[in-house]
């Protein structure tokens, strides 16, 4: 079988990470079946039931993407999708992802992210599909015990919110699943902080309401949607007192998924990879880089620390480089330039009204 005849099921397909993965999959000749429940997506005004983000993915790539509207907890809908398409492997990105909201609505988060994953895995198993890439997060490492964080770092300790717990729990479920049946090939990808957008500026991150994450917030300050950035904490033991993170360009991250699923050509077992750059930048460094890329002033004010934040997180991606033959090609200036292009061209995101 050539990669061109292989069909990849991408869940959460309309979302930020998945839409960028789909661009790379289509460019590599894979067929894509995307599934999304529209919890976080905007419909194409000309084609109801089809996401605006995927319409733009088709325009970017000049290729078609099959789409089904379905929730991960809807067994019947998922069964129908697996019956209709011969799925080669699954990239599972569907999840609720607002950290603060997860504290207010833990049951919704556990049902969607943990329950939905279990349901998807059961449907996949019944259909005989046992190749699975999971969209996990560096949040599973909690407060780092050493830096850079590698894949051997302890997980599941000191996770400060239900969102992070759901990522950890699904990892545990996948480990147990693999122990029960070695026919499963499973890759856990632990993302550091994805930012930026496709270089076309046509797709990008489109948060509902005020963004929780740093860079979407900075971009909205630049276009005047937010008055100022609040810098959460300036007394950390870091280079300038503000939090340090490992920001990774979303296109590099997407390419990491394609590199991972190429491993499914041979039986692979269960593997875990960090996807990050290995480089930490402070909040103020990110603000400066974005100012330079956008030519806009970014008003900010230093305020108290945000509960649950840790001072410094950055990872080693050496294992992914060695085993997946993947490494980041884009730097801070690319991340800021591409984020700015998306934000400037789409000041109100996909709705753009």
Give the interface with ligand UD1 as residue ranges (CB under 6 A): 97, 99, 137, 139, 160, 163-164, 193, 212-214, 217, 229-233, 243, 245, 283, 306, 308-309
Q: Which is nearer to ligand UD1, 231 or 298 (CB)?
A: 231
Count other C-beta atoms under 10 Å from residue 196's C-beta. Answer: 27
Q: Which is nearer to ligand UD1, 306 or 327 (CB)?
A: 306
C-alpha 219/C-alpha 281 separation (Å) is 17
At its nearest, how many Å lie between ligand UD1 and the CB of residue 189? 13
Tokens 């998922």, residue located? 78
The helix (run of H) or strand (run of E) holding residue 116 is helix 116-126
Q: Is 163 a catalytic residue?
A: yes
Angle between helices 332-345 and 214-222 (to 10 degrees): 50
At its nearest, how many Å lie between ligand UD1 and the CB of residue 97? 6
Spell out a b/e string for 242-263, using b for 16 or more CB atoms within 10 Å of the CB, else e. Answer: bbbbbbbbbbbbbbbbbbbbeb
Q: Is the dihedral of CA 345, 348, 350, 353 positive or negative?
A: negative
DSSP secondary structure of 221-251: HHTTSSS-EEEE-S-SSSSSSS-EE-EEEHH
- Considering the candidates 88, 163, 236, 314, report the single residue annotated as catalytic: 163
Residue number closest to ligand UD1, CB atom: 243
At its nearest, how many Å lie between ligand UD1 and the CB of residue 152? 20
Q: Which is nearer to ligand UD1, 139 or 294 (CB)?
A: 139
At its nearest, how many Å lie between ligand UD1 and the CB of residue 232? 4
8 Å CB contact between 248 and 277: yes
Q: Which is nearer to ligand UD1, 81 or 328 (CB)?
A: 328
8 Å CB contact between 47 and 22: no
C-alpha 220/C-alpha 43 separation (Å) is 22
At its nearest, how many Å lie between ligand UD1 and the CB of residue 33? 25
Spell out a b/e string for 60-92, using b for 16 or more CB atoms within 10 Å of the CB, else e. Answer: bbebebbbbbbbbbbeebbeebbeebebbbbbb
Q: Which is nearer to ligand UD1, 162 or 263 (CB)?
A: 162
At its nearest, how many Å lie between ligand UD1 and the CB of residue 298? 11
Active site residues: 163
């Amino acid at each position: 079988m050539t990669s061109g005849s292989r069909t990849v099921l991408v869940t959460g397909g309309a979302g930020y990470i998945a839409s960028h993965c789909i661009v790379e999959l289509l460019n590599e000749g894979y067929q894509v079946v995307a599934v999304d429940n529209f919890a976080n997506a905007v419909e194409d005004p000309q084609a109801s039931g089809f996401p605006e983000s995927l319409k733009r993915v088709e325009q970017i790539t000049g290729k078609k993407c099959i789409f089904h509207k379905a929730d991960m907890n809807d067994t019947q809908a998922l069964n129908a999708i697996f019956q209709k398409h011969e799925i080669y492997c699954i990239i599972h990105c569907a999840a609720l992802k607002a950290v603060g909201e997860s504290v207010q609505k833990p049951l919704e988060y556990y049902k969607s992210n943990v329950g939905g994953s279990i349901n998807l895995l059961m449907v996949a198993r019944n259909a005989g599909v046992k190749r699975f890439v999971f969209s996990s997060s560096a949040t599973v490492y909690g407060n780092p015990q050493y830096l850079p964080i590698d894949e051997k770092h302890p997980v599941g300790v000191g996770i400060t919110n239900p969102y992070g717990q759901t990522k950890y729990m699904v990892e545990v479920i996948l480990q147990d699943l693999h122990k029960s049946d070695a026919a499963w090939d499973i890759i856990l990808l632990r993302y550091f902080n994805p930012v930026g957008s496709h270089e076309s500026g046509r797709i990008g991150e489109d948060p509902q309401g005020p963004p929780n994450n740093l860079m979407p917030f900075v971009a909205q300050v630049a276009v005047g949607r937010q008055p100022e950035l609040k810098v959460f904490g300036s007394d950390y033991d870091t280079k300038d007192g503000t939090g340090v993170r490992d920001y990774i360009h979303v296109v590099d991250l997407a390419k990491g998924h394609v590199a991972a699923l190429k491993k499914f050509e041979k039986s692979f077992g269960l593997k875990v990879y960090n996807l990050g750059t290995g480089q930490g930048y402070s909040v103020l460094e990110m603000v400066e880089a974005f100012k330079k890329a956008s030519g806009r002033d970014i008003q900010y004010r230093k305020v108290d620390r945000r509960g649950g934040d840790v001072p410094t997180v950055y990872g080693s991606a050496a294992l992914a480089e060695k085993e997946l033959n993947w490494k980041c090609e884009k730097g801070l200036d690319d991340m800021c330039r591409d984020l700015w292009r998306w934000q400037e061209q789409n000041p109100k995101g996909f709705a753009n009204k």
